[in-house]
Structures are given as C-alpha cells and as structure tokens.
Structure 1
Amino acid sequence: MPVTIHPTAIIHDGAVLGEDVSIGPYSIVGRHATIGDRVNLVSHVVVDGVTEIGEDSVVHPFTCLGGPPQHLAHKGEPTRLTVGKRNQIREHVIMHTGTEKGGGVTRVGDDCMFMAGSGVAHDCILGNNVIMANQASIGGHVQVGDFVFLGGSCAVHQFARLGRYCFIGGGAVVTKDVIPYGSVWGNHARLEGLNLVGLKRRGFSRELILSLRTAYRMMFAEEGTFQERLDDVLENFSDVDQVVEIIRFIREDSTRPICLPSDV
C-alpha cells in the first residue's frame, strides 16, 4: 500500500517509512527515524533522533518521540528510542532517547497505551501491555514490567522497578521498587496489598489469587524477620511461579528499596 504524506508534513532525507504509513498535517519525521508498516502519525507529531516506531502504532497530535534526554551529562551521543508494535500514543506524550552511560536505549514494548501528557524518560525499559494514564511520569532508568498500570498524575523515581501486573494509584509518588502484582498508593507511595482488580481482569484463577494473597500475608506478617518470612514463603509456595517471581524480585540487587506496607 502507498505511503500517505500530508503536504504540510516534513520528512527528512534518510527517514525510513514502511508500507501504508500515514503522516498527518504538520508532522516532522527526522532523518534517523524508522516508521513501521501501517503507523499513523495523526497530526503535529515530531519523531526525532534515532527512533523506531513499530507497526500498527497510532501517534496523536503534539507528541514528541525521540527527543534528547533531559540529562546534563548527555552531549549529543547517538542514543536511541525503540517503540514496539500496536501502541496507542495519545496527545502531548513525550519519550526520550537513552543516555550513553545508561545503556543508550529507551525501549517500549508492544500493545501499550500512553494517555495524554504521560512521559517516558531516558533509559527506561517498558514491557508489553503497559498503560500510563493522563500525566503519569516515570524518571530515567525505570524498569516497568508487563501489564503494569500507572494511574493519572503519578510520578516514579529514577531507577525504580515496577514488577509485572502491579498497579500505581493516581497521584502516587513512587520512590521505591514495587513488587509484582502489588498495589501502591499515596505520597510517598506505600504498598496497600495486591492488585486484585487487575489480576481478575487479566484472567488469573481464584486458586492462584488465593495463593498470592496467602503468600502476601505471610511476607508482611509481624512474626520473625523479613528475610525469615521470605524463606518461609518460598518453602511453602515453591511450586507457584508467581510467588517465586515476587521473592526473586525482592532479592534482586537494586538501587531502590522495596515499597512496603505502612505498618511494616
């Protein structure tokens, strides 16, 4: 299928456009950009830097993808932004390329939705099916697992990790790592339990949710030390992959502490 380019759009020499791409009014595509098949830049979209947008993605007006990182150490090195397939990127979203010291790549997975005004900083790594609600913002080097939901106007501190299927409440200020399947709220954010609504919506069985809830209560009980409780959970739930995932997440090396319940 032919590429459709509005007369007011600017496509710099060197840009690579896939099949059936649509470039809307007043959009600008830089010379190092690669636009996948059937991507639709609706209008007033800027694709800058060494940026790749995966097939079947839709980018709405006044979005800027691939701008240089907001980092004083960046001196114009050729870092990258890679956006996966079938992403919905709404108005005024920003995503920056990586930094040389941070690995050089900001990476976004497939089937994500970025609502109006959300922002992805340099060197972030996002999984698949991530949703960032309006004005949600993540700092540099943040790792976001699959199926994470970030509520409106939340802010995530640089270098934090958000485990798979976790939920970040609207307006939360997250300064610590969030365990997989967890739910956090507040400023500063505290762990309020499991993301039960999200797990049910994603088809987790009642039996698996019960195992996760039992393991969660054991982890954050009052008896023993935290490490002793983790050992007990691992011993009792070694056959439940999702529980083992949480334990491994907690015990991985990280620059941020783990977000805990307020009474722990």
Structure 2
Amino acid sequence: MHADAFIHPAAHVAPGASIGAGCRIGPGCVVSAEAVLEAGVELVAHVVIDGRAFIGAGAKIFPFATIGLPPQDLKYKGEPTGVSIGARTQVREHATIHRGSTGGDGMTRIGADCLVMCVAHVGHDCRIGDGVILVNNVMLAGHVEIGDFAVIQGGAAIQQFVRIGRMAMVAGMSGVERNVLPYGRAKGYRAKLHGLNTIAMRRRLGLSKDQVMVVARAVHDLYRGGRPEDHVEAIAAAHPGNALVSEILAFARNRGRHGLCPFGRAAEEEEGGEAA
C-alpha cells in the first residue's frame, strides 16, 4: 500500500492488495487480496472489489457498487478470472460488474472515461470501449461488446453476444437482440435501426451535414432489399476512401452470432434526423 493512501478504519483491505498513491477507501469498503487500485482511485463507501480486479487511475466507485464478483454463469466453477476498469471511469451506486468466465478470455473489460450509472449491470466477459455511457438500469448480458463513445439509455437490455458499434445510441427501454452498426440509432421493444446518431457525428467528429448524409445514404442502401450483408461489396465500391462507410461495412461483414439489427419501418421518414 502506498504511504499517502487513505483507508478508513471501518474498511477492510485484504493483505496483498495493491493500493496506489492518493487512493481513498471509504467506510464499509471491502477490497480483495488480488485487487489492484492505481493512483487516485476513490472508493466512496460500502464498495466491494472482489477477486482479480484492476481499477485504473483516477476511477471513482460510488456506494454499494460491486466489482469482480463471480459471473452469473452456471458453468463457472471458480476459475481465476477477472475484471478491468479503465482510468477515470465512474461507477455509480448499486452498479454490478462481474468478472469474466472461461467461456470468454477470462476478463470483463470497461475502458477509460466511462460512466456506469446507478443499478446498471455489466455481465461477464463484456468488452466496453472508452467514453461509453450506460444510463440507469441498463442490463448487459454476458459477452456484449460496446464500441467507444456509445450511449445506452436507461433500462435498455442487450442480449448476450450482441455488438454495439462505435458512437451508436440505444434508446431507453429497448431490447437489443442483434448487432447495432457504428453511429446507428436503435430503439424499440425489439430494437430496430432508426437512422444515425448524427449529432454525435457532427459534434465529436466535426462532420458537416453533407458528410453525414453521405454515410446515411450508404446505410440506407445497405438495408434496401434483402439482407444487408448481401450489399456490402456494392456499397464499398460506391464509397471508395470513405473511412466511416468502410468502418460500418467492416462491422457488417463480421455478423457474429446475431446478424444486424433490422431497419425500422419509420426510419426512411427520419433520414437526416438527429439524436443527442
């Protein structure tokens, strides 16, 4: 333990835990012997860090959150798996983030600068990129992958092995059973694609309206008749050198277990529509 770390007398930090400079561990916290807390980590109060857990520098974990408890997987038999939380990520009250399983690579990963809001659940073997926001009560089943700067709004449920692309947005209370393209907007009880997250594309990437519309037309063409996967090469030939279209098509080629989220019937009417 680093000399200038603060551990409240009512906290329990197991011998062997690595506690970095400037860490603050509040009352009622429990930290396992295999945990690693980098410099400046704060556990506010009543936080449980279990097993092989790595918490990146400057991360802040709020009361009653649990990180690294065993996966909710009946196949799990106590194997030495773990969880990694990136630098400056915030995990809010009552959120649960489970360690990985042997059905994956053994690690659950959350990137840097993420915000995991109250009562969100991140299942075993999930891979979450940098800058991702999981709003209150989001539910991620095992092996879900979420790209950088995606936003999953409150109460959304993501089925196991589903992939959410970079900078996509999933509307609140949606049930996502198939993969959502990068920059896509998905919503609905059984979620469908409803255009692109155009505000994020403009604000974060600095794209003009015309540049966004080129990508929107490519996505509409991808879904126009038959399976989207059948149109990938034609769309690639029509948009040579467009990095965003290439990113979307690379995602579409890797259909995984579930294929792509279907296009919503109202999405044609929303072309050019905006999302926060």
Give the TM-score, by structure 2 length. 0.92
AA aligned to 1:105 is: M
Q: Which residue of 2 aligns with 1:55?
A: 57
Cα distance change on mapping 1:89 and 1:227 into 2, 3 Å: closer
What number of residue pairs does the alignment pair up? 263
Q: Please show how residues 33-52 of structure 1 align to structure 2 within 5 Å.
A: 33-52=35-54
AA aligned to 2:103 is: K
Task: Determine the C-alpha separation between the residues in 2 that align with 1:255 and 1:122.
Answer: 17
Give the C-alpha shift of residue 233 in structure 1. 1.4
RMSD, matched Cα = 1.5
Task: Determine the C-alpha separation between the residues in 2 that align with 1:225 and 1:21.
Answer: 52
Task: Determine the C-alpha separation between the residues in 2 that align with 1:229 and 1:4.
Answer: 58
Q: Which residue of 1 aligns with 2:239?
A: 237
Give the C-alpha shift of residue 262 in structure 1. 3.1
Give the TM-score, by structure 1 length. 0.96
The SS at the match of 1:199 is helix
Unaligned residue ranges in structure 1 (runs of 5+) = none
Give the C-alpha shift of residue 137 in structure 1. 1.1
Task: Determine the C-alpha separation between the residues in 2 that align with 1:180 and 1:168.
Answer: 11
Give the C-alpha shift of residue 152 in structure 1. 0.1
Q: 1:119-150: per-residue Cα shift (whole Å, max 9, x none)?
A: 11000111100000000111000111101100
Q: Which residue of 1 aligns with 2:103?
A: 101
Give the C-alpha shift of residue 208 in structure 1. 2.8
Q: Which residue of 2 aligns with 1:163?
A: 165
The SS at the match of 2:187 is strand
Q: 1:178-229: per-residue Cα shift (whole Å, max 9, x none)?
A: 011100001110111111122233143114312211212222234x764553
AA aligned to 1:85 is: A
Give the C-alpha shift of residue 257 in structure 1. 1.7
The SS at the match of 2:233 is helix
Task: Determine the C-alpha separation between the residues in 2 that align with 1:140 and 1:238.
Answer: 36
Task: Determine the C-alpha separation between the residues in 1 that align with 2:227 and 2:165.
Answer: 23
The SS at the match of 2:250 is helix
Task: Determine the C-alpha separation between the residues in 1 that align with 2:231 and 2:206.
Answer: 25
Q: Which residue of 2 aligns with 1:262?
A: 264
Task: Determine the C-alpha separation between the residues in 2 that align with 1:74 and 1:19.
Answer: 34
Dislocated runs of 4+, deviation >6 Å:
none
Counterpart pick for 2:137 among 130, 135, 138: 135
Q: Which residue of 2 aligns with 1:73?
A: 75
AA aligned to 1:83 is: I
Instruction: Tell me whether 1:122 sits opposite 2:124 in the alignment.
Output: yes
Give the C-alpha shift of residue 153 in structure 1. 0.4
Unaligned residue ranges in structure 2 (runs of 5+) = 268-276
Higher mean alpha-carbon deviation, 106-115 vs 251-260, is at 251-260
Alpha-carbon contact 2:228-2:260 (below 8 Å) kept = no
Task: Determine the C-alpha separation between the residues in 2 that align with 1:167 and 1:225.
Answer: 22
Give the C-alpha shift of residue 47 in structure 1. 0.3
